[in-house]
Chain A
Amino acid sequence: MKKKLFLSFALAASVWLNAQQKNTLLNPNFWKNAPDVTAVKAEIAKGNNPSESNDRSFDAVVYAINNDAPNETIKFLLDQPGNSVNKSTHDNRIYLHWAAYKGNAEIVNYLIDKGSDVNLEDSHATTPITFAAGVGQTNTEVYDALFKAGINPKHKYRNRNGANLLHLAIASDKDLKITNYLITKGLSLKDTDNDGNTVLDYAAKSGDLAFLKTLASKGVKFTDNAIIFAAEGSRRDAASLEVYRYLVEEAKLNPKVTNKEGATVLHLVANKPKQTEVINYFISKGVDVNKADNSGTTALMAAATSRDTEALELFISKTKDINTQNIKGESALTMAVKSGSPKSVELLLNTKANSQILDKEGYNLGYYLIQSYRPQMGGRGPENNEGPKVDPFEAKSDLLQKSGLDLAAAQKDGSTLYHFAVVKNDLNLVKKLQPLQIDVNSKNTDGLTALHKAAMVSNDDQLLKYLLSIGAQKETKTEFDETAYALAKENETLTKQNVSVEFLKS
């Protein structure tokens, strides 16, 4: 036991060490002390690359901007080769996004002068100005600079359902600083988006009752969708029961409102913690617990993805058929296996959830078990705050087998769990399957074995050698007459790293 603990600690430490960047300019700690140009030059002189990006596409410039480094430092970094003004960084954002978001007007102006694209959309269809407005950036000089560069203050954003900057900013603009500024630019508290949602509806995202009352007293109207906005909330917060009571009882909004995807409030709060009061309130107001949204998903299924089991237990007690499947063929148990906790899987199995369920593709829950695998990130597994540390993958695997699911059986398309696991390119995951006694040479209907798949996706020879060690046959050919050797020869990563694949030759 002691040894095991020590090992897992050592593993966590090594993962943590690996995660530290070798390039000091990509180490967040370097940026904590607002380094000046001399400090940055010293790091570059030591061989640290000022234009390198890390695996999440952050580079030194982005770190400098986001950590409020002196503007001279930021400008110096922008002058380095490889840091052009429209360089794509995390989430496809350019430096102008980050500078606008941080409210750094001097750098915003500097980037615009250098030809930065003020209309560039990141991978979430956010432009520099909507990025700034969305976080409630209050430095109006940033907006001034972007308007001067050609942004129309009254633009309705197509990818945001026709919302304008006022809609986007309001939920984080409690003192109405940006709102009042935008009103001087021609926007109005009466503006609506393409669905008729009002500024007040958007404000409901804040979950701040006093703020909503202030806005309502200015004559701004709600629509029923305010309940949806409140339930969606921001990423971390959840609105309190008082907010919903106000919206339903005082503003007289319809508690049974659904969003465009057909989801009710219950769907939207189901995977948030501590929602029992809210859920019971809306059920008492007539919202149907069993209602499926347009994708066939019920609130029970949404709750099964949560780390917290409070809502799940409540929905289990109120659901007619625990095995209802959505359009993809996923049940609540599928959701729990894929993204919930072992506790949720256990709860559902104990209430007669069917462990033999198949999805639309004919895959059983074994497929979802593989999808649930997350390489442990420095001990920050999903279970870290739930008492004794358990490996969620193994816990779920045990529960499913005890309930009678044969994890060694091939799927309808001939794939085995080896096929699914190999594509994750993680030797630890593949090794976890060994006790299941799966036939490693099984071919799927595309004519591929696990070894073929491994030859295509591997970054090194470890996975391939492991598969050979457990009996994978080299000779088998795909329906395009390729051997694992031929596929590995085409693998650019192996070629680039000069990994010899001659051991695959039969």
Chain B
Amino acid sequence: MKSISKLATVTILFLFVTISTFAQSSKYKCMLQMANYTGEGAYIVVSLIDAKGTYEKTLYVMGDDKKWYNSLKEWHKFQTKKPSNLSAITGASVTGGDRSITTFEIENAKINNGYKLRFESAVEDQKYHVTDVELPLTTEALAAKTDGKGYIRYVRFSKL
């Protein structure tokens, strides 16, 4: 009897842990449509920004040549101070007018909780946009289309 209850506790605990791991984050498909600027392919980094406005996590990097990373100045400071492994979340840089469709994971607890998604962009020999697109991480904003201020025409999301 005792052992059965012990087993039950362990099983429940195990189930709980499994479920909470599954429920922790959701995958989002992000469609990023570039404006038709002239110049080289843009380097873009997508970051999770906390309520205080500081970088918390890098979600995606478009552009794989590290020598250009310092052109994404604000993010680069964060990445230098707290280096994270980017290899699994790095894709190609995006040309003017082209679009990039990527998926990334966002923890559910971050949604509707004061967080923001920031799209920072840089193009060789051209202006750097620290907040080309910045949207509040809310259910509402994720359902809408957000226009960019720099090289990005707009971004839109769909939950997978």
Contacts and interface: CB of A to CB of B under 8 A. Distances in A.
A267 to B, nearest CB: 15
B160 to A, nearest CB: 13
Nearest to A425: B95
A166 to B, nearest CB: 22
Contacts of B98: 423, 453, 456-457
B127 A458 contact: no
B128 A458 contact: no
Given A124-B70, A328-B64, A57 B101 contact: no
Interface string B90-104: 000001111101000
A384 interface: no
Nearest to B94: A423
Given A57-B125, A92-B128, A457 B70 contact: no
A144 interface: no
Q: Chain B, interface size: which category?
A: 20 to 34
Contact of A327 (B31, B33, B38, B87): B87
B59 interface: no
B71 A480 contact: no
Interface in B72-130: 73, 76, 80, 87, 95-99, 101, 122, 124-128
A55 to B, nearest CB: 8
A475 interface: no
B63 to A, nearest CB: 13
Contacts of B97: 456-458, 491, 493
A182 B87 CA distance: 41
A313 B54 CA distance: 50
A490 B145 CA distance: 15
Nearest to B70: A125
Interface string B27-59: 000010101101000000000000000000000
Contacts of B99: 446, 448, 456
A88 interface: yes
Nearest to B127: A88
Contacts of B87: 295, 327
Nearest to A424: B95
B70 to A, nearest CB: 5
Most buried by B among A88, A158, A453, A456: A456
Contacts of A91: 124-125
B125 A457 contact: no
Interface of B: 31, 33, 35-36, 38, 64, 68, 70-71, 73, 76, 80, 87, 95-99, 101, 122, 124-128, 153
9 contacts: A88-B126, A159-B80, A295-B87, A328-B64, A456-B36, A456-B98, A457-B36, A459-B36, A492-B36
Given A92-B125, A123-B70, A456-B33, 16 more contacts: A88-B127, A123-B125, A158-B80, A159-B76, A159-B80, A423-B95, A425-B95, A446-B99, A446-B101, A456-B36, A456-B97, A457-B95, A457-B98, A490-B33, A492-B35, A494-B36
- Which A-B residue pairs are the 6 nearest by beta carbons? A457-B97, A493-B36, A57-B125, A492-B36, A456-B97, A123-B71
